[in-house]
Amino acid sequence: MKAIVTGKMTTIKDNLTVLLVDDEPDITTIFALGLEDSGFKVDAFNNPLEAL
Mean pLDDT check: name the lowest of 2-6, 16-20, 23-27, 41-45.
Answer: 2-6
Confidence class of residue 15 from pLDDT cuts 50, 70 and 90? confident
What is the model's pLDDT at position 27?
A: 96
E-assigned strand segments in 1-52: 2-5, 8-11, 17-21, 41-45
Return the DSSP state at 13: G
Confidence class of residue 47 from pLDDT cuts 50, 70 and 90? very high
Instruction: Return left, alpha or beta for 21; rule: phi > 0 is left, psi -120 to 50 is alpha, else beta.
Output: beta
How far apart CA 22 and CA 5 sit, in angstroms, is: 34
How far apart CA 34 and CA 37 sit, in angstroms, is: 5
